[in-house]
Amino acid sequence: MKLTKGGHTAVPTSLLTVVLSWRSGREVRAQAVLVAENGRARSDRDFVRFDAPRHVSQAVTVDREPEPGTARLSVSLPRTEAEVAGIVVIGSVAGGFAEVEGLRVTVFDHDRPVAEYDVATPESVPAMVLGEFTRTETDDWEFRAAAEGGVSLAGLVREFGVRMDPAREFEEPRRTAPPPNPQRADWHPDPRDPARLRWWDATSWTAATRPVPLQDSRHCPRCGAVRRRRLFTATNLCRECAAETAEYLDTWRPRAERTLRRAAPYDEWDTLWTALRYRRIDRAVALDLLRPLAHEQMERLVAFAFADGVVEQADIEDFEDTVEELSLTEPLIEDLRRRLHRGRLLTRLRSGELPLAPTTGLHLDPDERVHLNLPAAHIRQLARGPKRTEGRLIVSNRKLRFTGSDAGTEMPWARVVSVTSSDGLVEVSATSARGGALLEVADPDYVAAAMEGALRIAKRLALTPGRRDTRTIPPDVKAIVWQRDGGKCVECGARHYLEFDHIIPISIGGATSPANLQILCRACNRAKGAHL
């Protein structure tokens, strides 16, 4: 439930997690005071903080190693003693909250948020009451959102009857140089104690430290503990680290999959990789978990790009960014890359970015430019069957010509209606019934795209920037069809070379709607052709 200052909501009487999160600024710490009905702590031991992180009743625990940009408290309401009427959540920061942006308090019941509160922090106070759990008359619990500042942490907790030495509020860090590559959050040798590692959060040194693990075969490379010798082991981690890593990746993987599926900004990926580094988990292990889904996502990206017959440069950039982010190097990725660049080339040809071909030995009209000059075969349908004539196809900005040993044809663009590639041939439709042409060339898709581009320029039909073709499939329709068909060919079940197909072709009135679209692999789509 979204709360505002002073708002309250019921929360389950269970193990809850309070997460403070922020976008930038200094490191925020989380504390809690357990208070009785008079609103005061029973003793100083009811103040749970970084250097005393666990209440004697186990009702409140401070996470001393939260993920970067967060502070966490575990609140076990069932373990809260009967004489405790409330648990006050306090945040503190060296330098004041005015330097903290986007501060948010979220209460989770397992993985489900039950209360959320965006804290307005315009004041430069170093400590604030951010919320309070209160026991109701029926022995249930509520959470109330707050934003009440204090002149100091020691002064704020004194209001609840807790005595605290002001000198212990914040440890003043020595002026130490940042590590190499300071933009990257990671573990580095502690400038104060080289035998330990200290966490650098990309802006400053934090209080989180851990021993430097020994780098030899007898010790775990993650924690440094002596490993039990095991034959044929699949990992060089100790048993405890292997279990801890697997448990964390079980929660990390769904977040990474959501980020991958929605093509989230790459700063979200940086957050995910930072979380792995903080837990000292090898990135390669996480990439192996994501690889099957990553391959499926790359197939999806390419299929979506080809769905409209228009491959933009942005599609290639998204593809390459994802490949680099996930370190994908398999032959499948190279094949998808070739398809995408091929699609981009055909798109540029259809939009009018045409090559210039040599004109040696050709008699051209004034201002005529040749775009294609290549071997071809002209196929004519006669009463006794098709007749194939070898020759050359010449495509210019004025007309197209075919010159053969015993036949030739010349067709101005004004007489051409359309150019299509089908069944390995280029079909030219003209205004007269006998004016078309059927051509066999080495690369029919390339030739048809170049001829379509020349036709569009001649008839001033070239698409202007920002204008889309009428066959464009809206993104939400693509997503619906992909999800419905399971990201595979509905005919043979293939998951490679996937294309969007109109069940009833557009040429005979088929709609661009989920009901009239299906996923086919290239082979099944070519076999279907323009038939129902």
Chain-centre distance of CA 262, in angstroms? 5
Band the pLDDT of 122: cuts 50, 70, 90.
low
Average pLDDT of the chain, as a whole number: 84
Q: Is the pLDDT of residue 372 over 90?
A: yes
Choice between 496 and 34, residue whose per-residue pLDDT is larger = 34
Average pLDDT of the residues in 172-191: 76
Gap between the Cα atoms of 88 and 198, Å rounded: 30
Is residue 501 over pLDDT 60? Answer: yes
Predicted TM-score (pTM) of this structure: 0.59
Q: Which CA distances in Å does 384 have to 346, 380, 381, 387, 408?
A: 36, 11, 8, 9, 20
Environment class of 165 (CB within 10 Å of its CB; exposed 0-12, middle 13-18, buried 19+): exposed
Residue 492 has pLDDT above 50, yes or no: yes
- Given a cut of 60, is residue 174 above it in pLDDT? no
C-alpha to C-alpha distance for 152 and 165, rounded to whole angstroms = 11
Looking at residue 508, its pLDDT comes to 66
pLDDT beyond 90 at 35? yes
pLDDT (0 to 100) of residue 467: 40
Residue 471 has pLDDT above 70, yes or no: no
**What average pLDDT does the segment 461-483 reach?**
66
Q: What is the pLDDT of residue 229?
A: 58
The partner residues of 225 in beta bridges, in order of sequence, read: none
CATH number of 2-168: 2.60.60.30
Tell me phi and psi for residue 155, to 5 degrees: -70, -35
pLDDT score for 309: 81
Is the distance from CB of 22 to CB of 154 less than 8 angstroms?
Answer: no
Q: How far is CA 71 from CA 29, 54, 74, 104, 388, in A?
A: 6, 15, 10, 11, 77
CA gap 257, 413 in Å, rounded: 50
Report residue 509's pLDDT band, with 50, 70 and 90 as the boundaries. Answer: low
pLDDT of residue 164: 81
Please report which confidence band the pLDDT of residue 234 belongs to, taking 50, 70 and 90 as the band edges: very low
The DSSP line for 445-493 is: HHHHHHHHHHHHHHTT-PPPTT---TTPPPHHHHHHHHHHTTTS-TTT-
Which fold, 370-458? PH-domain like (2.30.29)
| pLDDT (mean) for 158-162 | 89
Specify the domain boundaries for CATH 2.30.29.30 within the chain.
370-458
Query: What whole-number percentage of the chain has pLDDT above 70?
Result: 91
321 — phi, psi (to 5°)?
Answer: -60, -45
Q: How many residues make up the chain in this entry? A: 532
pLDDT level of residue 439 (50, 70, 90 thresholds): very high
Categorize the per-residue pLDDT at 532 as very low, low, confident or very high, splitting at 50, 70 and 90.
Answer: low
Q: Which of 306, 262, 318 is nearest to 497 (CA)?
A: 306
- Mean pLDDT to the nearest integer, 416-427: 88
Q: Does residue 171 or residue 268 have the better pLDDT?
A: 268
Average of per-residue pLDDT across 450-468: 68
The rounded distance, in Å, linking the Cα atoms of 83 and 218 is 51
| Whether 491 contacts 521, CB under 8 Å | yes
Q: Round to whole Å and give the CA distance between 102 and 96.
A: 14
What is the pLDDT averaged over residues 112-127? Answer: 83
Per-residue pLDDT, averaged over 5-25, amounts to 89
- Taking residues 397-414, what's their average pLDDT? 86
C-beta of residue 303 within 8 angstroms of C-beta of residue 519: yes
Give per-residue pLDDT as tens, 309-356. 889 898 899 889 889 888 998 899 999 999 999 999 999 998 888 999
Indicate where the chain has its CATH 2.60.60.30 domain(s): 2-168
Q: What is the pLDDT of residues 49-77, one digit of tens each?
A: 887 888 988 899 998 778 888 999 999 99
pLDDT > 50? residue 465: no
DSSP H helices in 220-362: 239-261, 266-278, 283-307, 313-326, 331-350
Q: What is the pLDDT of residue 215?
A: 73
Average pLDDT over residues 13-31: 88
What is the number of alpha carbons within 13 Å of residue 474 lying toward its C-beta? 7
Amino acid 226: pLDDT = 76
CA-to-CA dists, residue 357 to 78, 131, 362, angstroms = 81, 74, 11
Does position 25 have pLDDT exceeding 70, yes or no?
Answer: no
* Tokens 């590639």 belong to residue: 421
